[in-house]
């Protein structure tokens, strides 16, 4: 195997994130090397194997073969589970980008808290885009390369349809907002979940108090006192 090809292979293997062609060229240190051609050769070399070389929006990385996903599934602790509001927001950004926060709220039909976008930024799935050339110059939001990498996509054109999104759990089948029966008030589903949990906790506490309080049985003195009061009356 050509030395330059081995260098590129080692760089990609050792990197914790996808590398651009320019970055690889800089690390090789020889402008005369056909990095693009070597990448294609390396990609062909790994076709049909357990590890594939894939291109993600102009960057390259080794990834396990998609057809082996079931075999390679592992259980890991999730540090922070995304709320339903965050998942809906992520889906809207993915399908409507570049999109402003106001547009996200218009599509969801409910206010989007700044913390929701902060969580998605922390996960490195969305990032600020260009400002709109409209009054107020609102900031837009777009997805990142990490988003594509996490969901196994090479480009946004590979995004699944809405039905597939619902089946995968990225979009909830429940409405974004619901009306509480008897009140006419609208609540976001995340708020309803919290209300249900709070009511469940109150029921549990009430049951615990009933178990703690002893059953009261009047003694003979109480009965005699009550009978005496009745005779006097």
Mean pLDDT by 10 residues, the chain (233 residues): 84 89 88 88 91 89 85 58 85 90 88 86 91 89 89 82 60 42 45 53 56 49 51 51
pLDDT of residue 187: 44
Q: Where are the beta strands (DSSP E) in the chain?
A: 19-20, 51-56, 59-64, 99-100, 126-131, 139-143, 177-179, 186-188
At 159 the pLDDT is 82
Ranges of each domain in the chain:
3-68, 84-168, 176-233
What is the tally of helices (H) and strands (E) in the chain? 10, 8
CATH of span 3-68? 1.10.10.10
Omega before residue 98 within 30° of 0, cis = yes
Distances (CA, A) of 187 to 75, 102, 175: 34, 19, 11
- Identify the burial level of 117 via C-beta atoms within 10 angstroms of its C-beta, where 0-12 means exposed, 13-18 middle and 19 or more buried: buried
CA–CA separation, 84 and 110 (whole Å): 13
pTM over 0.75: no
84-168, what's its fold?
Arc Repressor Mutant, subunit A (1.10.10)
Contact 33, 4 (CB under 8 A): yes
pLDDT on residue 164: 64
Do 3-68 and 84-168 fold alike per CATH?
yes
The two three-digit tokens of residue 51, written as one number: 């590890």
Q: In the structure encoding, which two tokens stand for residue 102, read together? A: 């106001």
């Amino acid at each position: 195997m050509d030395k330059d090809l081995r260098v590129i292979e080692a760089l990609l293997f050792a990197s914790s994130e996808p590398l651009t062609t320019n970055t690889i060229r800089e690390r090789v240190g020889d402008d005369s090397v056909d990095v693009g051609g070597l990448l294609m050769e390396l990609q062909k070399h790994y076709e049909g194997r357990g590890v594939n070389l894939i291109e993600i929006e102009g960057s390259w990385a080794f990834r396990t073969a998609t057809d082996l996903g079931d075999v390679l599934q592992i259980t890991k602790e999730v540090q922070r589970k995304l709320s339903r509001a965050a998942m809906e927001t992520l889906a809207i950004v993915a399908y409507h980008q570049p999109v402003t926060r106001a547009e996200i709220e218009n599509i969801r039909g409910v206010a989007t808290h700044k913390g929701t976008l902060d969580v998605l930024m922390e996960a490195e799935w969305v990032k600020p885009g260009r400002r709109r050339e409209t009054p107020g110059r609102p900031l837009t939001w777009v997805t990142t390369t990490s988003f594509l990498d996490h969901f196994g996509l090479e480009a946004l054109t590979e995004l699944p349809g809405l039905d597939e999104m619902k089946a995968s759990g990225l979009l909830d089948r429940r409405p974004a907002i619901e009306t509480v029966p008897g009140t006419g008030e609208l609540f976001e589903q995340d708020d309803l979940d919290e209300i249900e949990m709070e009511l469940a906790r109150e029921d549990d506490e009430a049951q615990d108090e009933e178990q703690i309080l002893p059953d009261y049985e009047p003694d003979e003195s109480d009965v005699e006192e009550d009978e005496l009061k009745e005779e006097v009356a």
